[in-house]
């Protein structure tokens, strides 16, 4: 019987034997069918991509495999044995390890305490456990200090701890959901090496991602879902490009958004000088940030999550007080003014929290649509409901929002439609500056293309755009200039046309070396 976390154990034979076979999985929720006879076949020693648009059924399918959901129909086979998982514990016992987007760690405990929590062998003392965890980490290049408290770790290090947790429990099938969304390019590359090491030792990886270039670089095989149904299962990704994968996912080739070639030459419409602000915990979050944006220009903000991007967006929008510095919007000093005053001065704000800050989930689609323009919808001090409905329908048509009725709750919309509605509402006021924070996070290929198309269209219309994103490919494709944030400071100013991913990644990790822009500050 292998001991927990024994890296010498090779779970798979490496000969291509099927280790996971989900057959005809059906999973229904009230009002929707998430999986409608979906199939997934994963072989030993492979990294297997699970692809599909948002709502295609990917998460539901792996939650069935992970014991989170009970399927309404279908069969689960693991290592040739039919299984009935009634809980995640059943799936773990069968060798299924889940690494979720939202990490499930106890911050006050150390790395090794989190790794072995609930599964530490009684016959090992603490020193032996720490030694085994360290050995397991070294085997798979998961560099971390077993004795460090988790609260001291970076996001990338916390992800390594989650992977170690699954390996400690002898998971031979690892499920990772959007694993590189919060990583620097260097960390993402290291993760790819770790996953390949797992596959070389016979383990299997199910890899969920919307980053198709990344999938092609990392994965061996793929399964594509559409509307809860398996529509493609290429046994090899050799000879397949990102447009092929996108077409499998959506039924048509996805548009490629390209950065315009003209150089912005408009007036400065947003000027931040020495902006500083505190975090929610009362600690310094922004340190003397200087950024300017010209009309018809996209300035991208890169950085690993938690390095001041959210605080910067909230400070610009007037939702977070600044402790130092000045802000001018279209030539007007708006330092210390309210969010409404900044909106009237020409700021459109698309926050990263769509349903918590951007939209009111308990209100209807039409009510959310007119929030910015309701003053023009009044008749004799009362809202003209027909005028509101007409306005909402025009917005829905212009921005391609898919919705049943305008009086439906906005909370029933998909992520892509929420973002289209939010962006459309903000752009109806003909803004001077668009502040977009993580505008494509969590969207599928079609949703990403639609939002990026609108951002580029605003640039063409003379709007200055501040694009805050953790998707480096997006920033490099769309931005005229790029700034990198690290620990609340501007670590580097780069020209996306000439910089490399390695240079951006180094700056994201704190190794910035100043300015390499084509112009501006």
For residues 277 and 391, membership in a common domain is answered with no
Confirm whether 374 is domain-assigned.
yes
Cβ atoms < 10 Å from Cβ of 277 = 21
- Listed in sequence order, the residues at least 6 apart from 426 whose beta carbon sits closer than 8 Å to its beta carbon are 348, 349, 350, 372, 434
Write the pLDDT tens digit of every residue in 227-249.
899 999 999 999 898 888 888 88
Confirm whether 119 is domain-assigned.
no
Can you spell out the DSSP letters for 81-136? EEE--SSHHHHHHTTEEEE-SS----TTSBHHHHHHTTT--TTS-HHHHHHHHHHH
Structure tokens at 432: 């001077």
Count of the separate structural domains present in the chain: 3
**Given this model, what pLDDT does residue 91 score?**
96
Confirm whether 81 is domain-assigned.
yes
For residues 276 and 319, membership in a common domain is answered with yes
For residues 272 and 369, membership in a common domain is answered with no
CA distance 28 to 109: 38
For residues 401 and 412, membership in a common domain is answered with yes
**Given this model, what pLDDT does residue 12 score?**
36
Confirm whether 13 is domain-assigned.
no
Confirm whether 10 is domain-assigned.
no
Cβ atoms < 10 Å from Cβ of 305 = 14
CATH number at residue 82: 3.40.50.300
Phi-psi region of 289 (alpha: psi -120 to 50; beta: other; left: phi over 0): beta
Instruction: Using the 3D structure, point to which of 250, 284, 299 is the last residue of a domain.
Output: 250
For residues 216 and 333, membership in a common domain is answered with no
* Entry field: residues in the chain: 521
For residues 384 and 244, membership in a common domain is answered with no
For residues 284 and 416, membership in a common domain is answered with no
For residues 466 and 491, membership in a common domain is answered with yes
Instruction: Let me know if 1 is exposed, middle or buried by CB neighbors in 10 A (0-12, 13-18, 19+).
Output: exposed
| Nearest CA among 307, 319, 11 for reference residue 170 | 11
Can you spell out the DSSP letters for 357-378? IIS-TTSBHHHHHTTTTGGGGE
For residues 303 and 319, membership in a common domain is answered with yes
Burial 46-77 (b: 16+ CB within 10 A, else e): bbbbbbbbbbbbbbbbbbbbbbbbebeebebe
Instruction: Using the 3D structure, point to which of 208, 234, 250 is the last residue of a domain.
Output: 250
Phi-psi region of 141 (alpha: psi -120 to 50; beta: other; left: phi over 0): left
Q: Which domain holds residue 45?
A: 18-106+169-250
Q: Are strands 18-29 and 32-43 parallel, antiparallel or unpaired?
A: antiparallel
Residue 50 parent element (H or E): strand 47-51
For residues 310 and 297, membership in a common domain is answered with yes
**Given this model, what pLDDT does residue 479 score?**
95
Write the pLDDT tens digit of every residue in 22-56.
999 999 987 778 899 999 999 999 999 999 877 78
**Given this model, what pLDDT does residue 47 score?**
97
**Given this model, what pLDDT does residue 10 score?**
36
Contact (Cβ atoms closer than 8 angstroms) between residue 233 and residue 48? no
pTM for the structure as a whole: 0.72
What residues in the chain have per-residue pLDDT under 70? 1-15, 120, 123-124, 252-260, 512-521
Instruction: Using the 3D structure, point to which of 250, 279, 294 is the last residue of a domain.
Output: 250
Confirm whether 120 is domain-assigned.
no
CA atoms within 13 A on the CB side of 459: 28
| Nearest CA among 484, 488, 486 for reference residue 285 | 488
Confirm whether 7 is domain-assigned.
no
CA–centroid distance for 233 within its chain: 25
For residues 207 and 237, membership in a common domain is answered with yes
For residues 444 and 320, membership in a common domain is answered with yes
The DSSP bridge partners found for residue 43 are: 18
Confirm whether 60 is domain-assigned.
yes
**Given this model, what pLDDT does residue 8 score?**
36
CA distance 512 to 424: 36
């Amino acid at each position: 019987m292998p001991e927990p976390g024994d890296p010498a154990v090779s779970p798979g034979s490496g000969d291509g034997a099927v280790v996971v076979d989900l057959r005809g999985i059906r999973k229904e929720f009230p009002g929707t069918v998430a999986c409608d006879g979906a199939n997934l076949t994963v072989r030993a020693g492979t990294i297997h991509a699970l692809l599909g648009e948002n709502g295609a059924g990917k998460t539901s399918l792996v939650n069935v495999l992970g014991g989170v959901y009970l399927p309404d129909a279908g069969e689960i086979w693991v290592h040739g044995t039919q299984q009935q998982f009634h809980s995640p514990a059943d799936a773990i016992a069968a060798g299924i390890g889940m690494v979720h987007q939202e990490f499930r760690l106890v911050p006050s405990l150390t790395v090794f305490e989190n790794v072995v929590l609930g599964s530490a062998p009684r016959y090992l003392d603490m020193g032996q456990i720490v030694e085994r965890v360290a050995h397991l980490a070294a085997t798979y290049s998961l560099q971390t200090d077993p004795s460090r408290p988790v609260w001291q770790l970076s996001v990338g290090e916390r992800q390594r701890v989650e992977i170690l947790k699954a390996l400690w429990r002898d998971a031979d099938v690892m499920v990772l959901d959007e694993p590189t969304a919060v990583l620097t390019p260097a960390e993402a590359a290291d993760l790819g090496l770790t996953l390949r090491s797992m596959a070389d030792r016979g383990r299997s990886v199910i890899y969920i991602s919307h980053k198709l270039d990344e999938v092609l670089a990392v994965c061996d095989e793929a399964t594509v879902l559409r509307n809860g149904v398996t529509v493609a299962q290429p046994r090899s990704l050799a000879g397949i490009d990102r447009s092929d994968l996108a077409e499998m996912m959506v039924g048509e080739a996805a548009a490629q958004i390209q950065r315009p070639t003209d150089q912005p030459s408009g007036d400065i419409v947003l000027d931040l000088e020495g902006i500083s602000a505190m975090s929610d915990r009362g600690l310094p979050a922004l340190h003397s940030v200087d950024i300017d944006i010209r009309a018809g220009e996209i300035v991208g903000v890169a950085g690993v999550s938690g390095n001041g991007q959210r605080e910067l967006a909230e400070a610009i929008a007037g939702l977070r007080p600044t402790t130092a510095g000045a802000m001018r919007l279209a030539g007007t000093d708006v330092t210390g003014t309210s969010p409404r005053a900044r909106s009237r001065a020409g700021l459109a704000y698309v926050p990263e929290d769509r349903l918590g800050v951007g939209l009111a989930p308990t209100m209807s689609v039409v009510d959310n649509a007119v929030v910015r323009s309701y003053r023009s919808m009044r008749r004799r001090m009362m809202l003209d409901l027909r005028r509101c409905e007409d306005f909402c329908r025009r917005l829905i048509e212009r921005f391609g929002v898919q919705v049943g009725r305008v009086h439906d709750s906005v909370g029933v919309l998909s992520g892509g439609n929420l973002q289209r509605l939010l962006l459309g509402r903000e752009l109806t006021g003909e803004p001077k500056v668009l502040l977009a924070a993580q505008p494509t996070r969590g969207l599928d290929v079609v949703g990403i293309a639609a939002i990026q198309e609108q951002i580029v269209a605003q640039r063409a219309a003379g709007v200055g755009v501040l694009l805050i994103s953790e998707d480096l490919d997006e920033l490099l494709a769309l931005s005229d200039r790029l700034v990198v944030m690290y620990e609340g400071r501007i670590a580097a100013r780069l020209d996306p046309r000439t910089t490399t991913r390695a240079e951006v990644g180094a700056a994201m990790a704190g190794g910035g070396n100043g300015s390499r822009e084509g112009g501006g500050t």
